Amino acid sequence: MHDIPAAFGLAFALLVSGDPDLWEIVLLSLRVSLAAVAIACAIGLPLGAVLAVLRFPGRMGVITLVNALMGLPPVVVGLGVYLAISSSGPLGVLQLLYTPAAMIIAQTILVAPIVTALTRQVVEDLAREYDEHLRSLGIGWAGLVSTLLWDARYSLITAALAGVGRAIAEVGAVIIVGGNINHVTRVMTTAIALETSKGDLALALALGIILIAIAIAINAALMALRGTAGRLAYV
């Protein structure tokens, strides 16, 4: 039986003492997840906008697929990326397995459908509203997409933050392709899983507290953003 109050005490001690191992794990988590979200946004924002405004055969099928991919099981993504980058896989020559780059790839695959699907929805609503004005201006495709993305910016930041939430809390994919190697690929979620299995609750709890704090910070940022956008009548 664990001494849970004592574990909480140790966890707070780790947090306030600036334990280097703990903060190394936190910073790697943020680096991996933020990089994954940045790449997912670079893919998902224009792709979602194009899906919103372009009419082509099979469009509804693509939208259904993207929506379905939002619920991708992380372990399945991890397995897929593992098969692709393992030494016998098609990308094995890149030697990415058990590196932060592999974790970024896996998280990008998880987050990109979220950003794409939310962007598609937001931009489609806006495109409906702006349709006649923008067609009256004779605006081209590039101008159309950039106008819609810019005017939907507050809603799209919400989509990106939703992606950060998904990435930072994810464990299944990064543990398969990262391997949870100490000082190399150990992130908050994989460390929590490992330390809990070892019975070292202090580090697990400290990381858990930081994860919850990040979740609260993301939600607070979302609310502040909505408030600002509302005040400026930009939503």
Partner 1 sequence: MSEPALALDRPVAPVAPDTRKPALFPLEARGLVLDIDGHRLIDHVDLTLGFGPLTVVMGPNGAGKSLLLRLLHGLIAPSAGQIAWAGRPADRQIRLAQAMVFQRPVILRRSVAANIRHALRTRGISGSALATRMGEVLAAARLEARAHTPGRALSGGEQQRLAVARALALEPRVLFLDEPTVNLDPASTEIVETMVSAAHEAGTKIVLITHDRAQARRLADEVVVMHSGRIVEEGPAERVFAAPASREARAYLAGELLV
Q: What is the 3-state secondary structure (H, E, C) of 49-93?
A: HHHHHCCCCCHHHHHHHHHHHCCCCHHHHHHHHHHHHCCCCCCHH
- Helix intervals (H) in the chain: 4-17, 20-53, 59-69, 74-85, 100-137, 141-151, 153-168, 172-178, 188-198, 201-231
Query: Which distant-in-sequence residues (6+ apart) come within 8 Å of 89 by Cβ?
Result: 82, 83
Min dist CB 143 to partner 1, Å, is 6
16: contact with partner 1 by CB under 8 A: no
Which residue stretch of 70-78, 92-100, 138-146, 214-222 sits at the interface with partner 1 (rule: CB under 8 A)?
138-146
128: contact with partner 1 by CB under 8 A: no
17: contact with partner 1 by CB under 8 A: no
d(CA 41, CA 115) in angstroms, rounded, equals 6
CB closer to partner 1, 20 vs 132:
132
Q: Which two tokens stand for residue 24?
A: 């190394």
Say if CB 97 and CB 144 are below 8 A apart: no
Number of residues that bind partner 1 (CB under 8 A): 18
Q: Show the binding pattern over residues 72-111: x = contacts partner 1 (CB under 8 A), - = does not.
A: ----------------------------------------
Query: Which contacts qualify for 226-230: CB closer than 8 Å, 24 or more apart?
Result: 226/154, 226/158, 228/154, 229/154
From candidates 147, 158, 180, 190, binder to partner 1 by CB under 8 A = 147
Min dist CB 232 to partner 1, Å, is 5
d(CA 191, CA 93) in angstroms, rounded, equals 28
Q: Which two tokens stand for residue 199?
A: 């019975």
Which residue stretch of 44-52, 90-98, 145-153, 214-222 sits at the interface with partner 1 (rule: CB under 8 A)?
145-153
CB closer to partner 1, 27 vs 137:
137
CB closer to partner 1, 93 vs 233:
233
5: contact with partner 1 by CB under 8 A: no
Nearest to 190 by CA among 114, 102, 111: 102
Q: Show the binding pattern over residues 38-77: x = contacts partner 1 (CB under 8 A), - = does not.
A: ----------------------------------------
From candidates 20, 56, 60, 132, binder to partner 1 by CB under 8 A = 132
Which residues make up the interface to partner 1 (CB under 8 A)?
129-130, 132-133, 135-139, 143, 147, 150-152, 232-235
